């Protein structure tokens, strides 16, 4: 078949989808590439903040049976296609993103290639760190990764960074600034003044970081170098890729020589991709009747949960891709993610100022590597909106002292016939001991066992089987570190996330990996590690995966750098290994 609707369809706009969309639309410009994204666009200043509207930031789609939330749907008058998609599973919860730009919309911006020791025997020779190094470099340039500027401007001082550096010194550990994908202007040596707007190198308007600490709830000033401001911006604006947001891919079927659906084929005649408009939904149990397009090739980049679920459905439910490897769903990892809290220490930390992560403290990952106990501690900033919430959770008796002092002053002034004057002192007295200023969360990630499995439940939706016990040496070492940090800062409480305790006994990850891992054959992986076919699904010509699901192990560091490098390699193989190399000019 030659008359395809598109040369390529890319499903998802996270790091893998954005990178492949850009590279493929350069090779096939002017509408020959279709990009499907289930979430919404988020132009500048569009992330909702009010308590009433914040509920619309949550992902809640009526035909997804994971957590029935019909009252919410009735209240909102239909689906809420928000950026935060929180999934709860038996031993591990997961927070993922939906939106044009994927996880980059709410991630912590860190760009960090892992150490050499991560690339063990589970990584094919074609994608060891040395082979990925040039792809890491080009992705770093596109994403504008750099540490926070260090200069004499007092507004550049981030108290939290120094707090974590001091803690590291007390614990005998090494802390250093980390590269973050945040806009401080195009000249790294001479950053723009805080809050000044300029076009980035690709023509998108951004604001020099305002230090608002809202990175994880959506940056309303476009100070984060999110994918819609670089790779996706170029794909759509320069190369005119077609984009359909609020559309979810539902199925992939090979075509025969006459352009008819044929599950017995292997992709040599292209594919049909079925999808639906989430604002006009139909029954999800069958592909019949859904809108569709034909394409020569497909890149699935819907994230670990989305990609693995889609391919599992196609193999086991719709049976349109029956030859996919039986390794599909295996080697799932939470990248050792773990969350703790240091509450009401003796020294101010001011967590609501600055990019949410600025430094890393190493615990046997980059130095003295210990495979079972390798992790990082990163500083945890959070938005002022959340700080007000923290203050609101204070027991009311904590304000009694301030109230008593105000009443006493009022009576004394009244008896003397004096005016009360300003009430500012009373407000300052009430908020002066604020809990939020002396509290922070502790963000850990490390090398877990990576032995989980994604599978379909009775509703044909993805679940996670997480054998927590095999990663307990890592978690136990992190728990010791939480306690040690609390002792160093003399915190009232130093505790893990509440769900870690009984009866739930589970942690939360924002960095899922695995499920469609890269391998040398269909017995060792789901996708091909051969450079010219890198990321191609075994058994299917022209069907690729480019996202965190192809990463075969935990990486210990924030994984966006590795996902980006591997996705650049996927795109390079598709567009042709002809001696040229992808560059940051896009």
Q: Give tens-digit pLDDT for 335-361.
A: 999 999 999 898 889 999 999 999 999
Q: Given a cut of 60, is residue 265 above it in pLDDT?
A: yes
Say yes or no: 408 and 523 in one domain. Answer: no
pLDDT of residue 410: 52
Q: Record the tokens describing residue 343, joined without a space.
A: 């509450």
Say yes or no: 421 and 564 in one domain. Answer: no
Q: Can you tell me the distance from the alpha carbon of 291 to that of 289, in angstroms, rounded to the nearest whole number?
A: 7
Selected residue with higher pLDDT from 502 and 554: 554
| Angle value at C-alpha 74, between 73 and 76, nearest 5 degrees | 65
Mean pLDDT of all residues in 110-122: 98
Q: Given a cut of 80, is residue 454 above it in pLDDT?
A: yes
Q: Can you tell me the distance from the alpha carbon of 50 to that of 450, in angstroms, rounded to the nearest whole number?
A: 38
Q: Given a cut of 70, is residue 69 above it in pLDDT?
A: no
- How would residue 54 be classed by pLDDT, with cut points 50, 70 and 90? confident
- How would residue 426 be classed by pLDDT, with cut points 50, 70 and 90? very low
pLDDT of residue 428: 43
Selected residue with higher pLDDT from 280 and 395: 280
- How would residue 77 be classed by pLDDT, with cut points 50, 70 and 90? low
| Of the residues 407, 434, 461, the one at which a domain ends | 434
Cβ partners under 8 Å of residue 45, min gap 6? 220, 221
DSSP state of 58: B
pLDDT of residue 420: 47
Q: Is 242 inside any structural domain?
A: yes
Q: Is 253 inside any structural domain?
A: yes
Taking a C-beta distance cutoff of 8 angstroms, is the pair 291, 281 a contact? no
Say yes or no: 568 and 514 in one domain. Answer: yes
Q: Given a cut of 50, is residue 25 above it in pLDDT?
A: yes
Q: Is 283 inside any structural domain?
A: yes
Say yes or no: 217 and 319 in one domain. Answer: yes
Q: Can you tell me the distance from the alpha carbon of 70 to that of 386, in angstroms, rounded to the nearest whole number?
A: 27
Say yes or no: 321 and 403 in one domain. Answer: no
Q: Given a cut of 70, is residue 401 above it in pLDDT?
A: no
Number of domains making up the chain: 2
Q: Can you tell me the distance from the alpha carbon of 586 to that of 569, in angstroms, rounded to the nearest whole number?
A: 14
Q: Can you tell me the distance from the alpha carbon of 456 to that of 469, in angstroms, rounded to the nearest whole number?
A: 22
Taking a C-beta distance cutoff of 8 angstroms, is the pair 349, 440 a contact? yes
Say yes or no: 539 and 424 in one domain. Answer: no
pLDDT of residue 281: 75
Count of other CB atoms within 10 angstroms of residue 231: 30
Say yes or no: 297 and 247 in one domain. Answer: yes
Q: Given a cut of 50, is residue 402 above it in pLDDT?
A: no
Read off the pLDDT of residues 165-213 as tens digits, 9 standing for 90 and up. Answer: 999 999 999 999 999 999 999 999 999 999 999 999 999 999 999 999 9
In percent, the amount of the chain with pLDDT more than 70 equals 89
Q: Given a cut of 90, is residue 427 above it in pLDDT?
A: no
Q: Is 349 inside any structural domain?
A: no
Say yes or no: 513 and 402 in one domain. Answer: no
Say yes or no: 426 and 456 in one domain. Answer: no
pLDDT of residue 390: 62
Mean pLDDT over the full length of the chain: 91
Q: Can you tell me the distance from the alpha carbon of 500 to that of 83, in angstroms, rounded to the nearest whole number?
A: 25
* Residue for token pair 């759509």: 236
- How would residue 404 be classed by pLDDT, with cut points 50, 70 and 90? low
Q: Record the tokens describing residue 170, joined without a space.
A: 């007390």
Mean pLDDT of all residues in 136-161: 95
Taking a C-beta distance cutoff of 8 angstroms, is the pair 119, 128 a contact? yes
- How would residue 408 be classed by pLDDT, with cut points 50, 70 and 90? low
Q: Can you tell me the distance from the alpha carbon of 262 to that of 292, in angstroms, rounded to the nearest whole number?
A: 15
Say yes or no: 408 and 328 in one domain. Answer: no
| DSSP-derived pairing of the beta strands 242-245 and 33-37 | parallel
| Of the residues 406, 434, 462, the one at which a domain ends | 434
Q: Given a cut of 60, is residue 73 above it in pLDDT?
A: no
Say yes or no: 566 and 534 in one domain. Answer: yes
Q: Is 278 inside any structural domain?
A: yes
Listing from the earlier edge strand, what are the strands of the sheet with 440-446? 175-177, 359-363, 375-380, 440-446, 338-343, 493-496
CATH number of the domain that residue 290 is part of: 3.50.50.60
Domain that holds residue 428: 395-434
Q: Record the tokens describing residue 550, joined without a space.
A: 């192809």
Q: Is 241 inside any structural domain?
A: yes
Phi, psi (rounded to 5 degrees) for 142: -65, -40
Please tell me the least confidently modeled range out of 46-60, 158-172, 453-467: 46-60
Phi, psi (rounded to 5 degrees) for 165: -65, -40
Q: Is 232 inside any structural domain?
A: yes
Q: Record the tokens describing residue 169, joined without a space.
A: 């010194």
pLDDT of residue 2: 74
Mean pLDDT of all residues in 220-226: 98
Say yes or no: 570 and 520 in one domain. Answer: yes
Q: Is 343 inside any structural domain?
A: no
């Amino acid at each position: 078949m030659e008359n395809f609707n598109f040369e390529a369809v890319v499903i998802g706009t996270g790091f893998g989808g954005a990178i492949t969309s850009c590279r493929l639309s350069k090779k096939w410009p002017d509408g020959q590439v279709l990009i499907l994204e289930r979430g919404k666009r988020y132009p500048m200043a569009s992330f909702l903040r009010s308590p009433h509207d914040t509920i619309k930031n949550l992902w809640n789609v009526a035909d997804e049976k994971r957590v029935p939330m019909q009252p919410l749907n009735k209240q909102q008058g239909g689906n809420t296609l928000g950026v935060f998609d929180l999934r709860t599973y038996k031993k591990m919860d997961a927070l993922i993103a939906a939106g044009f730009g994927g996880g980059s919309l709410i991630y912590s911006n860190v760009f960090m290639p892992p150490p050499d020791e991560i690339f063990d025997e589970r990584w094919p020779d074609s994608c060891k760190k040395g082979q990925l190094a040039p792809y890491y470099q080009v992705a770093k340039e596109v994403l504008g990764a750099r540490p926070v500027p260090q200069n004499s401007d007092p507004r550049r001082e981030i108290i939290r960074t120094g707090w974590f550096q001091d803690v590291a010194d007390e614990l005998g550990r090494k802390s250093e600034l980390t590269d973050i994908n945040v806009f401080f202007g195009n000249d790294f040596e001479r950053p723009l003044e805080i809050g000044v707007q300029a076009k980035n190198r690709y023509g998108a308007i951004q604001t020099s970081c305002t230090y608002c600490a809202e990175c994880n709830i959506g940056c309303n000033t476009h100070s984060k170098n999110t994918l819609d401001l670089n790779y996706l911006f170029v794909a759509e604006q320069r190369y005119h890729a077609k984009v359909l947001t609020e559309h979810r891919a539902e199925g992939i079927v090979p075509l025969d020589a006459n352009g008819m659906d044929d599950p017995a084929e292997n992709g040599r005649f292209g594919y049909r991709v079925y999808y639906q408009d989430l604002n006009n939904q139909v029954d999800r149990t069958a592909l019949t009747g859904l809108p569709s397009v034909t394409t020569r090739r497909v890149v699935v980049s819907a994230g670990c949960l989305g990609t693995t679920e889609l391919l599992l459905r196609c193999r086991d439910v719709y049976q349109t891709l029956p030859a996919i490897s039986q390794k599909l769903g295996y080697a799932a990892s939470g990248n050792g993610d773990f969350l703790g809290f240091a509450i009401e220490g003796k020294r101010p930390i001011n967590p609501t100022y600055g990019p949410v992560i600025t430094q890393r403290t190493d615990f046997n990952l980059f130095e003295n590597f210990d495979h079972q106990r390798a992790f990082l501690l990163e500083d945890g900033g959070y938005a002022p909106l959340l700080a007000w919430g923290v203050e609101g959770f204070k027991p009311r008796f904590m304000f009694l002292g301030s109230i008593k002092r105000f009443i006493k002053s009022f009576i004394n002034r009244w008896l003397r016939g004096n005016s009360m004057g300003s009430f500012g002192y009373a407000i300052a007295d009430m908020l002066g001991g604020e809990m939020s200023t002396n509290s922070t969360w502790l963000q850990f990630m490390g090398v877990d066992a990576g032995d989980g499995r994604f599978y379909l439940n009775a509703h044909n939706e993805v679940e996670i089987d997480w054998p927590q016990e095999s990663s307990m040496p890592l978690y136990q070492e992190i728990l010791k570190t939480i306690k040690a940090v609390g002792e160093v800062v003399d915190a009232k409480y130093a505790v893990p996330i509440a769900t870690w305790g009984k009866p739930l006994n589970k942690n939360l990850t924002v960095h899922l990996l695995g499920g469609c891992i890269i391998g040398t054959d269909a017995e060792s992986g789901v996708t091909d590690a051969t450079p010219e076919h890198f990321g191609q699904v075994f058994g299917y010509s022209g069907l690729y995966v480019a996202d965190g699901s192809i990463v075969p192990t935990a990486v210990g560091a924030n994984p966006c750098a590795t996902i980006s490098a591997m996705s650049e390699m996927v795109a390079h193989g598709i567009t042709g290994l002809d001696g040229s190399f992808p560059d940051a000019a896009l």
